[in-house]
Structure 1
Amino acid sequence: MANFVLVAGAWLGSWAWDDVVPELRGSGHGVHPLTLSGLAEREDEPVGRQTHVRDIVDEVERLGLRDVVLVGHSYAGIPVGQAAELIGDRLARVVFVDANVPADGESFVSTWWEGPAKLETALAENGGLWAPLAAADCEGQGLTDDQVTRFVTGATPHPGVSLADPAVLPRPLGELPATYIKCLLDGPEPTSDVAELLKGERWRLVELDTGHWPMFSRPADLARILLDCAR
């Protein structure tokens, strides 16, 4: 049986996986949703260089996990991709859920699709924190009103230090056994960096007809895909 380590994206904590966890555990797997430093119930914990990477590696080592399926959603794909490189033979597979992927020396900010300056300005204007989205920002992502409310009320400001932290990759990301889940309402095609990785023999693509937060909008379908990744 696998051990799933689930890491949600910006503004979110372990609570975001609440609707996914029961099906994974019901299939006999270990499931370990993780809140990163500076977020949710860990909002007051300091965040510095590589803190989120260490959060993930430390959780795997603290619990003595093996056959690990590391799951990173959105922003969390960046620290998850780096952590996957560091846990060695404990890793079974890494799963990127509509996620950013790390590139050596690049950060979430430096690759921001609207340009680094726009995100840097937003962080500076909010005391170094990335403010959570409003309900209107969630439109068109396949979420019900109740799901949007759950997302918006549960979100916490995201520490900008982690967003600007350059990734460190000791070997090419394409060498990892990986699945990329593309959520089609958030764009029909993977980004160019992901598309390049998918050309390799060790990466595979799975499409899911929902928006950017499938743990809210399609938890059962997301759980099914994750279970397939553990086989």
Structure 2
Amino acid sequence: MIRRRGSLKAASAALAGAMTAVSNTGIASATDKLRTFVLVHGAWHGGWCWRRVADVLRAHGHRVFTPSLTGLGDRAHLFSRDISLQTHVEDILSVVETEELSDLALVGHSYGGLVISGVANTLRERVSRYIYLDARFPSDMSPGASFSWSDFDTPETREARLKSIHEQGKGVAFPPSPPSAFAVTKPSDAAWLQRHLRPMPVQTYIGTFTFKNSGSDGLQRTYIAAIKPPYAALVPTHNRIRNDHTWSFTTIEAGHDAVVTAPDKLASLLMAV
């Protein structure tokens, strides 16, 4: 009996030490609030691009989903010219419904900001916070308002992109930009993107989406602006909402593809939000 008590005390001490060590390394303890994250990638990317961020979040005990939108990533074999922004909105709605998620943080990067705005049109408060990571979002989300991804481009940029779609994408695909366009310069990271970037279906660029409710207007939402270096096309967006009281605004010292180049910083920000 004495030996057994001694063994029990030793085991208890070891367990307490292990829990302290886990807490000190930043892994979630029983007192931490564990969250559910659904991470929505940007144009030409796939769920694969969140790998490094997801690894950090999961190491802290959070539940993480990184779906690929139809026609991209591991779902590139489903590519079709008929795939639209509405299709991608339904992709994310399906994840939430199938996994029976609620009280989640929904993160949209770049083009993914348009997607989560459409998702908010349906889910509303079922999502605890909408997080826009250096993302596009419609300025008007009132019921009946419509928008197209192409609306965000200058006439010159739109013309150049449509020309690329017709010449390189044969009228059905929007060819990907090079890794350098996303401020990815490290050779190994650029090579990783180059291997996995895929064309966007043309309707995601020229098709329209119409709000039935109010998108993410009036809901808990945060904007994370990538500022080192800033993505030139998004600087007006950053400036517009920096002092908008309907948004929580913060920055990350990384380029547009912070999901690739600054995963630890980004994961820390997401957990802080």
State whether TM-score is above 0.5. yes
* Equivalent residue, structure 2, for 1:218: 262
- TM-score normalised to structure 1 length: 0.89
Q: Secondary structure at the match of 1:20?
A: helix
Selected match of 1:150 from 188, 192, 197: 192
Alignment of 1:62-101 (within 5 A): 62-101=98-137
What's the CA shift string for 1:15-59, capped at 9, x where partnerless? 000000122112222100010001122113241461011111111
- Asked whether the 8 Å contact 2:37–2:65 carries over to 1, the reply is yes
Answer yes or no: is 1:181 the counterpart of 2:224: yes
Q: Secondary structure at the match of 2:146?
A: coil
Matched residue count: 227
* Equivalent residue, structure 1, for 2:6: none
Which has the bigger relative contact order, CA under 8 A and spacing at least 6? 1
2: distance between equivalents of 1:142 and 1:117? 25
- TM-score normalised to structure 2 length: 0.76
Unaligned stretches of 5+ in structure 1? none
RMSD over aligned Cα, in angstroms? 2.2
Alignment of 1:100-115 (within 5 A): 100-102=136-138, 103=140, 104-113=145-154, 114-115=156-157
* Equivalent residue, structure 2, for 1:159: 201
Amino acid at match of 1:31: V
Amino acid at match of 2:58: R
Which structure has the highest helix share of the two?
Answer: 2
Q: Matched residues, percent identical?
A: 26
Distance 1:18 1:121, change over 3 A: same
Alignment of 1:1-231 (within 5 A): 1-45=34-78, 46=80, 47-48=83-84, 50-102=86-138, 103=140, 104-113=145-154, 114-125=156-167, 126-127=169-170, 128-135=172-179, 137-138=181-182, 141=183, 143-169=185-211, 170-171=213-214, 173-184=216-227, 185-187=229-231, 191-193=235-237, 195-229=239-273
Distance 1:142 1:10, change over 3 A: closer
Amino acid at match of 2:226: C
C-alpha displacement at 1:117, in angstroms?
A: 2.4
What's the CA shift string for 1:85-131, capped at 9, x where partnerless? 31133201111111111343121112224443222222122122111
1: distance between equivalents of 2:147 and 2:105? 24
2: distance between equivalents of 1:89 and 1:173? 9
Amino acid at match of 1:94: Y
1: distance between equivalents of 2:189 and 2:197? 12
Distance 1:176 1:119, change over 3 A: farther
2: distance between equivalents of 1:193 and 1:133? 21
C-alpha displacement at 1:152, in angstroms?
A: 1.2
Amino acid at match of 2:73: A
- Asked whether the 8 Å contact 1:96–1:180 carries over to 2, the reply is yes
Q: Higher Cα Rg: structure 1 or 2? A: 2
Which structure 1 residue ranges, 4+ long, deviate > 6 Å from structure 2?
none
C-alpha displacement at 1:202, in angstroms?
A: 3.4
